[in-house]
Amino acid sequence: MTARHIHLVGASGSGTTTLGRALARHLGIPHFDTDDYFWLPTDPPFGQIRHRAARQALLGADLERPPAWVLSGSLCGWGDAFIPLFDLVVFCAVPTDVRMARLRAREVERYGAAAIAPDGPLRAKHEAFLAWAASYENGPAVERSRAMHDVWLATLPCPVVRLEDTDDVATRLQRVVATLAR
């Protein structure tokens, strides 16, 4: 399979960005993350959504430059115009308890324990994010959820690889590389 444009998608904390970076590094091609287009740069991050047309224009400009790339993150509902570019889509899933543990650790690393502590300035944002992330498996198909991703994946015109396990990044990378070699 000659996959020059690879998209990784899954729930927050499922490892799409980590695997996407590793895959891009392995293949020697650029990596892009949908969060960089969806969110305006703010301090702290993830505070303001970029307008749809602006994020589509920015992502489109970046994807048209290199001959090959890896894109991680969900673009369901706002980035469907990019679907024809995908040669391979990789869906990443891990059990909810694993995802939530990863997200809690990432939040501490990203914002600091004091900022998300019960009396911290980012506590409400932290709790809202974790509640949203925890609802992924049972959320409706009209918002970022397992149901939405399953419906979206079924419509794709390219091959889809499903990594639904707790394998480490190196093992997942080997599985994707093996798929690319076929």
- Domain coordinates in residue numbering, the chain: 5-181
CATH of 5-181, one of 3.40.50.10610, 3.40.50.300, 3.30.450.20, 1.10.760.10: 3.40.50.300
Token code pair at residue 71: 């894109």
Q: How confident is the model at residue 1 (pLDDT cuts 50, 70, 90)?
A: low
* Count of positions (residues) in the chain: 182
Residue 74: closest CA among 165, 144, 146: 144
Query: So what's the pLDDT on residue 123?
Result: 97
Token code pair at residue 60: 């489109």
Residue 59: closest CA among 39, 89, 29: 39
Condensed to tens digits (0 to 9), the pLDDT of residues 38-66 reads: 999 999 999 999 999 999 999 999 999 99
Burial letters for 39-59: b for 16+ Cβ neighbours within 10 Å, e otherwise? eeeeeeeeeeebeeeebbeeb
Instruction: For the sheet with 88-93, list strands across it.
Output: 31-33, 69-72, 5-10, 88-93, 160-164
- pTM: predicted TM-score of the whole model, two decimal places: 0.94
